[in-house]
Amino acid sequence: MNGADALLATLVANGVTACFANPGTSEMQFVAALDRQPDMRPVLCLFEGVATGAADGYGRMADRPACTLLHLGPGYANGAANLHNARRAHTPIVNVIGDHATYHRHYDAPLTSDIAALARPNSLWVKSADSPDTVAGLAAEAVAASFGPPGGPVSLILPADSAWLETGSGPVIAQKPMRPTPSGEAVDAAARAIRAATRPVVLLGGQACRAEGLAQAARLSLVGVRVMTDTFVARQPRGAGVFPAAKMPYFGELALQELAGADLMVYAGTTQPVAFFAYPDRPSVLLPEGCTALTLAGRAEDAVAGLAALADALGAPREGPTQVLALPDAPAGRLTAYAVGASIARHMPEGAIVCDDMVTSGTGVTANTGGARPHEVLALTGGAIGIGLPLAVGAAVACPDRKVLALSGDGSAMYTIQALWTLARENLDVTVVIFANNSYRILNVEMTRTGAGDAGPQAARLLGLGEPDIDWVSLAKGLGVAAVRCATAEAFDKAFEGAMAQRGPMLIAAAI
C-alpha cells in the first residue's frame, strides 16, 4: 500500500467515512486510493467552501469527523471561511490538504504557498506527513485532535510523494479524548450562588444545548433559574417535546434589556457573552451592571453532567417542562419571513434538520417554528455567511433518512451557490428556501447602528442585490435543482408542503 492507502485505511478505521472533496493534481493518489477503499464515500463539491461547510454539517450531525480533500494553499483558503464557522461550532473535521512532493516544495512552483500558516488560524492541529511511514500515525493523531474537547477542524498536509510512495504501516486507531466532568466544587459553588441570587441566569452553549443538556437545564427552570442559550448554537433541538430555552438576542442592547435585573450568570458549555460587533457608545460585554459570573462547565468540560449535578444539588424535579406541539394556521396574503415560518412549522416533518443562514429573516421564521414537530437547528456560529447550503449537504449525507432544510438569505446563498450542484449530484433530500429580498438587508440595519448614517447612492449599490435581481429558478435549474418562486403566503405554503411530501433536492425562492 502507498501513503494514500494508509491514510484512507486509518481514516476509515477511525470512523471517518465521508470525504467532501475538490481535488487537484497533488491529490490524485488519494483519489485513486478511493477505489480501493469503498467504505469512504467521496462527495464532489465544485468549490471548497461547499466541501468545508458540508464537513461541518456532517460533523455536527454524525458527532464524528468527515474529511475534506483540498488542493494546496489556495484550495484550503477557499474553504477557510466555513472552517472559521466550524472552529466556532467546535465541529470535528479532518482536512486533508495535498501539497507538492517534499523535494519539490523549495522550488517555489506556482502553487507553492505556506499551507501551515494559512491553516493555523482555523485549525486546532496542523501537521505535515513528510514521509509515507508517518501518514497513518498522523492521521490517527488528527482524528483524535479533531475531537478536542471541545473539538474543531484539524489539518493534515499530505505531500504528493508521501501519498505515492509505498509504506508498510497499517491503519492506526485514535483514542477519542473524554470531556472532563466539572468538579464537585464548581457544582457546589454554582448551587450556592444560585440560592443566594435574586435573578440567576444559566447560559448554555455548545454541548449543553444538545438534547441531554436541555433536558437537565429544563429542571433548573423549575427552581427559579432563567435558562438561556448562546445566540448561535452549533446544534440544538427545538419544537414539541423540547425545553424551549430563551436565546440571547443578537443585538447587545436587546440582550441587556432581556437580562435586566439579573444578578448572577452561570456558564455551562460557554463563556462570557459578548456583542457580535462593537458599535460607538455601546457595550461589548453583555452582562448587566452588578451581575456576577461564574463557570459551571467550560466548553471543554462535560456540561451535561455539570447541569445534572447542579439540578440535583438544587433539589430540582427529575423532569423539566417541554414545549407542546402548536402548529400555526395556514398563512395568507403577503409573503413574509413570518409566513414562511408558519408554513415550515406546519409541514416540516419530525426529525427535520434546519440549516440556518437566514440572517434578518431568522427572527420571523423562528417566531413561528417554536411549536413545530421536533427538529434540530444548525446555526451560523462564526458569522461567515454562506454556510446554509453547504451545511445541508453534509447533514443530508450524515442523516439520509431525515429531511433537511437549508434556509438562507439570498446574499448568503450566493457565497457557496455551487452547493446546489452537489445536492443534485448526490440526490440529497434537501429543501432550500431562499429569502429573496434582493438586499444585504442586515447591512442596512448595521449601517445606521454603526453611526454611519443612511446609505447614499454609492453606498446603496454595495448594500443592494438588485440590478439585476437574481433569477433563482433559472440559477437552480442551471445547477440541476428543480425550483419554484413564490410571491404569496398561499403559494409558498403549497410549494413547501409539496417539497415536504417528495424526496430529493428542491429550491423555493420566497420573494419576501
List the interface residues with its own copies, window 208-237 (CB under 8 A): 232
Output the CA angle 190-193-194, nearest 5 degrees.
Answer: 85
If phi > 0 it is left, if psi is from -120 to 50 it is alpha, else beta; for residue 453 that is left
3-state helix, strand, coil split of the chain in percent (to 5) is 45, 20, 40
C-alpha cell at 405: 432544510
The Cα 341–Cα 377 span in angstroms is 13
Q: Return the closest-CA partner of residue 391 out of 11, 40, 49.
A: 49
Measured from the CB atom, the residue of 304 and 476 that comes closer to its own copies is 476
Total residues binding its own copies (CB under 8 A) = 103
C-alpha cell at 442: 442586515
Binding mask 383-402 for its own copies (x = CB under 8 A): xx-x----------------
Binding to its own copies (CB under 8 A) within 462-481 occurs at 462-463, 465, 467-480
Task: Rule CB under 8 A: say whether 418 interacts with its own copies.
Answer: yes
Binding to its own copies (CB under 8 A) within 19-78 occurs at 21, 23-26, 28-29, 31-32, 34-35, 38, 40, 42, 44, 46-47, 49, 72-75, 77-78
**Span of 170-178, 321-329, 362-370, 407-415 interacting with its own copies by CB under 8 A:** 407-415
The Cα 504–Cα 276 span in angstroms is 36
DSSP state of 150: S
Shortest approach of its own copies to residue 443 CB, angstroms? 7
Shortest approach of its own copies to residue 464 CB, angstroms? 8
Binding to its own copies (CB under 8 A) within 287-346 occurs at none
Q: Return the closest-CA partner of residue 126 out of 105, 137, 112, 142.
A: 142
Binding to its own copies (CB under 8 A) within 136-195 occurs at 160-161, 164
* Helices first, then strands: H and E counts in the chain: 20, 18
Among 447, 489, 508, 512, binds its own copies (CB under 8 A): 447
Q: Return the closest-CA partner of residue 480 out of 24, 75, 46, 49.
A: 46
**Span of 328-336, 390-398, 459-467, 489-497 interacting with its own copies by CB under 8 A:** 459-467
Which three-class secondary structure state does DSSP give residue 329? coil
The Cα 446–Cα 458 span in angstroms is 17
If phi > 0 it is left, if psi is from -120 to 50 it is alpha, else beta; for residue 469 that is beta
Shortest approach of its own copies to residue 156 CB, angstroms? 18
**Span of 98-106, 207-215, 325-333, 428-436 interacting with its own copies by CB under 8 A:** 98-106
The Cα 364–Cα 343 span in angstroms is 12
Shortest approach of its own copies to residue 469 CB, angstroms? 8
Measured from the CB atom, the residue of 176 and 477 that comes closer to its own copies is 477
Measured from the CB atom, the residue of 86 and 139 that comes closer to its own copies is 86
Measured from the CB atom, the residue of 107 and 178 that comes closer to its own copies is 107
Task: Rule CB under 8 A: say whether 132 interacts with its own copies.
Answer: no
Measured from the CB atom, the residue of 56 and 161 that comes closer to its own copies is 161
Task: Rule CB under 8 A: say whether 10 interacts with its own copies.
Answer: no
Give residue for cell 454556510: 387
Shortest approach of its own copies to residue 328 CB, angstroms? 30
**Span of 128-136, 149-157, 369-377, 448-456 interacting with its own copies by CB under 8 A:** 448-456
Measured from the CB atom, the residue of 29 and 134 that comes closer to its own copies is 29
Shortest approach of its own copies to residue 21 CB, angstroms? 6
The Cα 509–Cα 512 span in angstroms is 9
Among 168, 290, 333, 457, binds its own copies (CB under 8 A): 457
- Beta strands 292-297; 264-268: pairing state: parallel
- Beta strands 506-510; 483-486: pairing state: parallel
